[in-house]
Amino acid sequence: MSSKLKGKVIFFATNNINKFNEARRVLSRYKIAVGMLRVKTLEIQSESLEEIAKNSAIHAFQQCHLPIIVEDAGLFVEALKGFPGPYASYVYKTIGNEGLLKLMKEATNRRARFQSMVVYFSEELESPICFKGEVLGEITETVREGCSGFGFDPVFKPLKSEKTFAEMDIDEKNLYSHRAKAFHKFARWYKSLKI
């Protein structure tokens, strides 16, 4: 592993400012500088977050030749046999939180999990490297908006909290979230690179 990786700014290729802000907050604790890059990411159709994110990272890197992070997240609801999974973005845009709650009207099992796959790629690496984070929780009975959050945050409550993600600020969400866990793993790896 080359020492060239250290001390550089890395770029998070995303169009989602909320994801970027959550990641930046974690990385700043490790003094890792990150910029947001709005390159057009390629999202292949796949059941695997890892495969989607790896392909996106390679595609993004080919466009900019900068040290790049891509993150792909999914929501897996037990009562819906893992739906929407990697299709969370499409499902959110089409039926939204109200639609998800409707699908779960009869469901007594409210268990769900968010997964995050953070993928890093740079010119020093032969292939992209992946870091996974997961949070277990449940889908609430009603939409519980708070003062922050995005996507399914108003209907997702981590197991160890009484609040939905939307009722938390970024720092509190980062104590539990799939994304924060994956970015902590990434940051520890990045900081461990030999000088």
Query: Which residues lie near ligand ITT (CB under 6 A)?
Result: 14-16, 19, 41, 71-73, 75, 88-89, 92, 150-153, 165, 177, 179
**Active-site residue, 72 included:** yes
In whole angstroms, how far apart are CA 61 and each of 54, 72, 119, 122, 142? Answer: 11, 16, 11, 7, 41
Of the two residues 7 and 61, which places its CB atom closer to ligand ITT in the complex?
Answer: 61
Q: Which of 72, 153, 169, 171 is catalytic?
A: 72
Half-sphere exposure of 150 (CA within 13 A, CB side): 13
- Pairwise CA distance, residues 163 & 126, whole Å: 42
Question: In angstroms, what is the minimal distance from the CB of 44 to ligand ITT?
Answer: 12
Q: Min. distance of Cβ 73 from ligand ITT in angstroms?
A: 4
- Structural element, H or E, at residue 55: helix 49-64
**Residue 1 beta carbon to ligand ITT: minimum distance, rounded to whole angstroms:** 26
**Closest residue to ligand ITT, Cβ-based?**
151
Residue 47 vs 124, nearer CB to ligand ITT: 47
How many CB atoms within 10 Å of residue 65?
Answer: 9
Q: Supply the residues annotated as catalytic.
A: 72
